[in-house]
Amino acid sequence: MSTQYSLIGRTAILRLDNPPVNGLGHTTRQGIVQGLHRALDSGDVDAVVLTGREGFFSAGADITEFGTPKTTAEPMLGDVIAALEAADKPVVAAIDGTCFGGGLELALGAHYRVATSTSRIGLPEVNLGLVPGAGGTQRLPRLVGAAVAADMISGGAPRRARELADLPGQRLCDRVVDGDVMAAALELAAEMAAVRPLPRVRDLSVDPGDAAAVSAMRERLARRSRGFLAPAAALALVEKAATIPFEEGLSEERKTFLELMNGEQSAALRHAFFAERAARKVPDVPAGTSARRVDTVAVIGAGTMGGGIAMTFLDAGIPVTVLESSQEALDRGLGIMRGNYQRQVDKGKLTPDGLEQRMALLTPTLDYADVSDSDLIIEAAFEDMDVKRSVFTRLDEVAKPGAILASNTSTLDIDAIAAVTGRPGDVLGMHFFSPANVMKLLEIVRGAKTADDVLVTAMAVGQRIGKTGVVAGVCDGFIGNRMLAKYRDAAMELLRAGATPADIDSAAENFGFAMGPFRTADLAGNDIGWAIRKRRYAEDPGLPRDEIADALCERGRFGQKVGAGWYDYKPGSREALPSPVVDELLASFHTRHGTEPRTFEEDEIVQRLVFALVDEGARILDEGIALRASDIDVVYIAGYGFPRYRGGPMFYADTVGAAQVLSALRRFHGDDGWEPAPLLTRLAEAGTFN
Ligand code: NAI
């Protein structure tokens, strides 16, 4: 049974017992209703306490049931809640720990609520592209007011019970306790045993709250949740709670819930949710492989990446030794880290104490002997094979046995780096993204000889420092950057054919990318790619030139940092303004080649960009560089600003259909010699990536 029934004195205890998260699956819902009726029918029972286990009330709906007949099998959650609410004996919800989604809606059906002060209470459905579907949008505002409810439901973030209790006028919990929640609930149940009528949330009216707060939220959502449907839908439902009768509100909520549940966005967001969980598993690593202990970390190089990587570990409370090649570089690196923390303090995101605590965990050094005790050493020196080789040779000499040696290289061969050590099993890639203390993605690059427990450790460490880890095989660019190169090629091809940077960026941004390719390039700096191209031209004089991008850099248009790139920038502003210089540069390209610039529909621009990702993703999947299509989706969502509500490039390709993707790519490439990814051709016959 997934609900336990017991009796303490004259109070019946209904305890949810459906590990791991007390999901409200069908048998649990049945168990609650059966237990409730048993209590109501019994002459020995005066009141009911509904609870979970210590530290876990309920995480809500059982999302593995979504899309199966079980979701709609009776009793549905709304029926269970209605039964609690209609009970003629008092029902007290005793909440400890997580109380999310359907779990909170269930508690809102009780007559009284008691919670431990640290309980986390929230309606996170928007994260799956949904709104609460069992009365949450109508009951929560009746207890906490429209403004707080709108924030909780459209933002999805949980709040602590204590924090909620301290808000003016809130009445979500009748009691918030620091100690034993069951004792408090039993006490309240006994007090209320004879009190009638029983209070029902549905009978309360909504404090419309501060209308200005709600409308400010609408503006904030429009900015922060651009493209997402659920947050605005949630806000509208909360507003309705203040203006229409309860039952009507419930049916509006149901209608919205079903629309969203059957829509593409929720399917994509649920895919992203499951994809992130799937990415934590590596099929060929034996279950139970235990991670090595990581208490101390060393970072080699205190540049852009080394500094950010060190900050990530310091933020997680893990001591870091940073090694540089000169005192000057070390001082500069530490100064930048402190400056970055200081900016967080200035913005109120970090306390001055927090800053000092972090810096106190940091040990700067120039001496390799100081990293000999580190459990994990991450190299972030120059992107140059000779530099990497000499660093890893030194590390092999000094690092203690069992230490993990990682490189943050973005392009170099991990196996070649591992080969200079006498312990290639301890070596792997840990590829962070810039800025490393902010970006969520971590590509964990598994070398040919990387030991299973080393891989498992890197994944566990990634989780500990709040990163989304994805395992990648060794190749130039791994998963993300290898695909990005093709996306950039597609963007440049669009330019050559007549689109402008603004056309391309706005199409990409309207599709939902955080930033279009040219604005991104201006932010990152156009000189970086130019330096790489110049090196390649020198190595291979026959290599075709990237005429437009080279011409841009020859004019010194390196991007935002110099106020000019693919766009113009006014001093101190990030606003990208169309540039007459770039227009002239494009026009002269067409004159030189005798080409007639054509115009593009947004759809075609998006398809050219996204399908280029899909084609390369298919190769990466076929070669085993990515373990699953959904891992590629996670990489693009977590690291490249791909809209989460489209589920990632491979999921998106599935919604379009592989055959359509293939025929569009054939059309775009014409006779330029391109061959489709073999996997794409196979799936076009029959199949999907995910
Ligand atoms: P950077 O040039 O900002 O920093 C490199 C630092 O390493 C410098 O401070 C330098 O003094 C130090 N260094 C060089 N040789 C050293 C040695 N032998 N011993 C100790 N310190 C040494 O470079 P950045 O951008 O931080 O890149 C570092 C690594 O991270 C490269 O492999 C790069 O490909 C990779 N990477 C860079 C990303 C980026 O966006 N910048 C993103 C992901 C990876």
Tell whether 458 and 319 lie within a shared domain. yes
- Number of domains composing the chain: 2
Give the residue from 533, 515, 513 showing the smallest Cα distance to 523. 515
Is residue 1 pLDDT above 80, yes or no?
no
Looking at residue 457, its pLDDT comes to 98
Does 286 map to a domain?
no
Of the chain, the percentage scoring pLDDT greater than 70 comes to: 100
Chain length of the chain = 690
Does 278 map to a domain?
no
SS3 98: strand
Task: Single out the catalytic residue among 54, 65, 125, 685.
Answer: 125
> Mind listing the pLDDT tens digit for each residue in 377-420?
999 999 999 999 999 999 999 999 999 999 999 989 999 999 99
CA distances from 502 to 15, 524, 563, 569, 578 (A): 58, 17, 17, 14, 7
Looking at residue 444, its pLDDT comes to 98
Q: Is 380 in the pocket of ligand 1 (CB under 6 A)?
A: yes
Q: Are 480 and 434 in contact (CB under 8 A)?
A: no
Q: Which domain holds residue 308?
A: 297-475
Burial class (CB in 10 A: 0-12, 13-18, 19+), 194: exposed
**Biggest distance spanned by C-alpha atoms of the chain:** 94
Is residue 212 pLDDT above 80, yes or no?
no
Tell whether 57 and 107 lie within a shared domain. yes
Q: Are 469 and 463 in contact (CB under 8 A)?
A: yes
Task: Return d(Cα 688, Cα 682) in angstroms, integer.
Answer: 10
Tell whether 314 and 243 lie within a shared domain. no
Confidence of residue 208 (pLDDT cuts 50, 70, 90): confident
Tell whether 258 and 359 lie within a shared domain. no
Q: Is 443 in the pocket of ligand 1 (CB under 6 A)?
A: no
Count CB-CB contacts under 10 A for residue 203. Answer: 11
Residue nearest to atom 28 of ligand 1 (CA): 380
Through-space distance between the first and last CA atoms of the chain, rounded to whole angstroms: 34
Task: Return d(Cα 444, Cα 376) in angstroms, integer.
Answer: 14
Tell whether 256 and 352 lie within a shared domain. no
Q: Give 382 Cα–ligand 1 centroid separation in angstroms.
A: 4
CA distances from 315 to 303, 358, 374, 465 (A): 18, 7, 18, 8
Q: Which of 31-40, 60-69, 106-115, 172-181 has the lowest mean pLDDT?
A: 60-69
Does 543 map to a domain?
no
Domain boundary residue among 475, 494, 515?
475
Tell whether 251 and 326 lie within a shared domain. no
Average pLDDT over residues 115-136: 97
Domain boundary residue among 443, 475, 507?
475
pTM, 2 dp: 0.93
Of the chain, the percentage scoring pLDDT greater than 90 comes to: 91
SS3 200: coil
Looking at residue 122, its pLDDT comes to 98
Does 565 map to a domain?
no
Q: Are 319 and 294 in contact (CB under 8 A)?
A: no
Domain boundary residue among 430, 453, 475?
475
Decide if 539 is catalytic.
no
Task: Return d(Cα 431, Cα 411) in angstroms, integer.
Answer: 10
Looking at residue 68, its pLDDT comes to 85
Question: What is the average pLDDT value for the chain, to the nearest integer?
Answer: 95
SS3 451: coil
Q: Is 408 in the pocket of ligand 1 (CB under 6 A)?
A: yes
Task: Return d(Cα 647, Cα 609) in angstroms, integer.
Answer: 16
Q: Give 74 Cα–ligand 1 centroid separation in angstroms.
A: 59
Q: Are 191 and 47 in contact (CB under 8 A)?
A: no
Tell whether 310 and 183 lie within a shared domain. no
> Mind listing the pLDDT tens digit for each residue in 420-436?
999 999 999 999 999 99
Tell whether 257 and 364 lie within a shared domain. no
Does 429 map to a domain?
yes
Give the residue from 21, 47, 54, 17 showing the smallest Cα distance to 32. 17
Q: Is 365 in the pocket of ligand 1 (CB under 6 A)?
A: no
Does 559 map to a domain?
no
Tell whether 97 and 212 lie within a shared domain. yes
| Residue 407 alpha carbon, nearest atom of ligand 1 | 32
Does 30 map to a domain?
yes
Does 64 map to a domain?
yes
Tell whether 234 and 350 lie within a shared domain. no
Q: Is the ipTM of this complex over 0.90?
A: yes
CATH number at residue 183: 3.90.226.10
Task: Return d(Cα 129, Cα 644) in angstroms, integer.
Answer: 10
* Token output for 134: 């069992």
Q: Give 517 Cα–ligand 1 centroid separation in angstroms.
A: 24
Residue 299 backbone phi and psi in degrees, to 5: -125, 130
Give the residue from 222, 439, 223, 398 showing the smallest Cα distance to 300. 398
Decide if 443 is catalytic.
no
Looking at residue 220, its pLDDT comes to 87
Q: Is 379 in the pocket of ligand 1 (CB under 6 A)?
A: no
Tell me the Ramachandran region of residue 351: left when phi exceeds 0, alpha when psi lies from -120 to 50, beta otherwise. beta
Sheet containing 404-407, strands listed edge to edge, beginning at the edge strand earlier in sequence: 362-365, 320-323, 297-300, 376-379, 404-407, 427-432, 441-445, 468-472
Tell whether 255 and 302 lie within a shared domain. no
Q: Is 329 in the pocket of ligand 1 (CB under 6 A)?
A: yes
CATH number at residue 383: 3.40.50.720
SS3 206: coil
Tell whether 339 and 454 lie within a shared domain. yes
Q: Give 379 Cα–ligand 1 centroid separation in angstroms.
A: 8
Letter string b/e over residues 26-53, b meaning 16 or more CB atoms within 10 A of that residue's CB: bebbbbbbebbeebbeeeebbbbbbbbb
Looking at residue 213, its pLDDT comes to 80
